[in-house]
Amino acid sequence: MHDKYKGEHVLVFPRTLLEEIGEFQGTSSDVDSYLSKILDKQNNKFALRVAAEDDPSLQQIIPYVLFYHGGEVFSYVRGKGAGEARLKGNRSIGIGGHINPQDETLFAMANTSSDMSTYLEAVIREINEEVIVDEEYTPEIIGLIKDDGNPVGKVHFGVVHLCQLKSKSVRKKERQITAAGFVSLKDLAGPRREELESWSAYCVDLLIEKGL
């Protein structure tokens, strides 16, 4: 099997765990029930991405970070260098990606049964790889995403983080991020919704539900 991911390892948990806690489609606000088990060291591991991408029995944990200011969210189009080729050309409002081998040492060294603090370190690392944020921010976890309606969604589990900013202080860093800037939440919920990847569409609904 050709490994287009060049030996990359990603953090995963078994689909049976999701079935045990309770499956859902779309978003869930019951963050604690899921993350307390998913981030328990006994329930997750690092696996080869090339195998995990075609194995729905493994769920890849994906931090999905939203940047919000004054009724607008940071948005971009996934360009040629996108890590997930199946999402290329889609508009996204989520920054983030897989928890990778550089985080493995952090997880191994964590001295508690839960990987939450280590997970949050990995989230910050991922943000810093993709964008530059010119102010302090806090990635608050506001929900979870599961979408079994497409091949990408079947093997990924999203953790939605919201960063509420004082200004439009986000700039692109990675090549894969194109057509970037802040876009009205109302526009994304309305006339521009069809541009969005499914996770981003779910997140737009989540933000509106929260009164943003």
* Distance (Å, whole) CA 79 – CA 177: 6
Residue 104 clears pLDDT 60, i.e. is over it: no
**What domains can be seen in the chain, in order of their start residue?**
9-209 (3.90.79.10)
Q: What SS3 class is residue 189?
A: helix
Q: What is the pLDDT of residue 102?
A: 67
pTM of the model: 0.90
Q: What SS3 class is residue 20?
A: helix
Q: What SS3 class is residue 110?
A: coil
Phi first, then psi: give them for residue 69, nearest 5 degrees: -155, 125
Predicted confidence (pLDDT) per residue in 112-140, tens digit: 555 677 788 889 989 999 999 999 999 99
Query: Which residues lie below 8 Å from residue 205, measured CB to CB, with a gap of 6+?
Result: 26, 27, 189
Q: What is the pLDDT of residue 101?
A: 61
* Distance (Å, whole) CA 92 – CA 135: 22
Predicted confidence (pLDDT) per residue in 15-56, tens digit: 999 999 999 999 999 999 999 999 988 999 999 999 999 999
Residue corresponding to tokens 């260098």: 81
Predicted confidence (pLDDT) per residue in 47-83, tens digit: 999 999 999 999 999 999 999 999 999 999 987 554 4
Q: What is the pLDDT of residue 2?
A: 81
Predicted confidence (pLDDT) per residue in 146-186, tens digit: 999 989 999 999 999 999 999 999 999 988 899 999 999 99
For the stretch 68-80, what's the b/e string if a residue is b when 16 or more beta carbons lie within 10 angstroms of its beta carbon?
bbeebbbbbbbbe
